[in-house]
Amino acid sequence: QVQLVESGGGLVQAGGSLRLSCAASGGTLSRINMVGWFRQAPGKEREFVGRITWNGGSTYYTDSAKGRFTISRDNAKNTVYLQLNSLKPEDTGVYYCAAKPSLTPLYNYWGQGTQVTVSS
């Protein structure tokens, strides 16, 4: 099992920044291939934001995240980060990290989420 714990959310004004952290632990961490970030706005479905490969650090972002958000990882700390810049009110929501084991198509492990609120 892999446990994920997000932190770093909060209330910020439009144009501001936050850095979210996703700390991973568990005996099967070596099987993780990818860590993704997702968000869920009030009244909306959860959506994919971007992801990073655990070993090579290759990243991918959706168009809404590209240029404003940056995903990085610190393998020594088993932590993945989501840097949120130039935040907009529509970025408000609960942000989740999730881990996908190798050779599986799904993100099997999820954190509890951290709330990001952007005021106008």
Tens-place pLDDT, residues 18-35: 999 999 998 777 788 999
**pLDDT higher than threshold 80 for residue 89:** yes
**pLDDT higher than threshold 90 for residue 52:** yes
60-82 burial: b if 16+ Cβ within 10 Å, else e: ebeebbeeebbbebeeeebbbbb
CA distance 59 to 48: 13
Place of tokens 């393998």: 75
**pLDDT higher than threshold 90 for residue 1:** no
CA distance 89 to 26: 35
**pLDDT higher than threshold 80 for residue 69:** yes
CA distance 57 to 119: 32
| Mean pLDDT computed over 99-108 | 89
* 64-73, 91-100, 102-111, range with the lowest pLDDT: 102-111
CA distance 101 to 72: 18
Four-residue CA torsion sign, 28, 102, 19, 110:
negative
The CA-based angle 19-24-82, given to 5 degrees, is 20
CA distance 7 to 19: 9
At 39, the pLDDT band (50, 70, 90 cuts) reads very high
What percent of the chain shows pLDDT beyond 70?
100
Predicted confidence at residue 105, as pLDDT, reads 85
| Mean pLDDT computed over 83-94 | 97
